Amino acid sequence: MVIAIIAILAALLLPSLSLAKQQAFKTLCASNLRQVGQTFHSYSGDWDGWSPPEKNQGDSYYWPRILVDNGYMQATWAGYTGYTNPTDKGWARTGILACPTAERNHSTFWVNGGSYGVNHSHIGFNQGKAIKFGKKRASLLLLGESRDKYYSKILSQGDNIRPCYINCPCSDWTNYVGWNLQASPARHPFTSSNVCFIDGHVDSFSWLELKGNTGDLFGHTNPN
């Protein structure tokens, strides 16, 4: 009888303990995201108000490595299968770029990333599409959690083949397989996701709110 009671209590308590653990991870990821946002502002202060670009010229690495290589944050890189130099092609194993709830696929190649992505609609490829912080509204999304087996570093991947990702929300944003995984950030309890805004504050949104571009947080209607 005693064993049965213990088993029942354990069955009742385990879901609560699991939820508490996931909520703690969400809080940690929000703290990391806030610090990553602060590094964007530090970079901006040194570069006449400009944000770092999404990637460097030549498509060899992305903004996480740009910030790490220039001393704005620290990260320990782990390599992908088949790539022996993790500082050249790898993902952030430790530091504020790493969220414990993000997927990690060591067998898939991508270039120097972490658990968070930039708003691709405003910080695009190469040096030519950075933004000036003072020219943008505080309610514009800067960074979000990027759940992606490729660790793409891009919240909304976009190019001529997949224009949907630039112009989200759209019906395909949550329905694609493969490439859309970086555009599916709601990995916390109750399908919630942390986001960091231009002014540095962090908030949480549901997946439906992100998909619906609540308050035009992606800046598609009002880009400023």
3-class secondary structure for 84-142? CCCCCCEEEEECCCCCCCCCCCCCCCCCCECCEEECCCCCCCCHHHCCEHHHCCCCCEE
Residue 221 lies inside a defined structural domain of this protein: no
**Alpha-carbon gap, residue 103 to 58, rounded angstroms:** 27
Residue 170 lies inside a defined structural domain of this protein: yes
Residue 222 lies inside a defined structural domain of this protein: no
Residue 224 lies inside a defined structural domain of this protein: no
Residue 169 lies inside a defined structural domain of this protein: yes
Residue 53 lies inside a defined structural domain of this protein: yes
Residue by residue, pLDDT tens for the chain (224 residues) are 656 556 554 555 555 556 677 777 778 888 989 999 999 989 988 988 888 887 776 656 778 888 888 999 988 877 766 666 666 667 777 788 877 776 655 545 455 677 787 776 677 555 545 666 666 778 888 888 765 433 333 444 433 333 333 344 443 333 333 344 444 456 665 677 888 998 899 998 887 777 677 787 777 666 66
Query: Do residues 116 and 36 lie in contact, with contact meaning Cβ atoms separated by under 8 Å?
Result: yes
Residue 223 lies inside a defined structural domain of this protein: no
Q: Within the chain, where are the H helices?
A: 2-46, 63-69, 207-211
Query: Do residues 137 and 198 lie in contact, with contact meaning Cβ atoms separated by under 8 Å?
Result: yes
* Domain count of the fold of the chain: 1
Residue 120 lies inside a defined structural domain of this protein: yes
Amino acid at 5: I
Residue 3 CA from chain centroid, whole number: 45
**Alpha-carbon gap, residue 93 to 66, rounded angstroms:** 16
**Residue span of the structural domain in which 174 resides:** 2-216
Amino acid at 103: E
Nearest residue to 183 via CA among 163, 204, 201: 163
Predicted TM-score (pTM) of the model is 0.73
Query: Do residues 159 and 170 lie in contact, with contact meaning Cβ atoms separated by under 8 Å?
Result: no
C-alpha dist (Å) from residue 138 to 25, 46, 118, 142, 208: 26, 20, 15, 9, 22
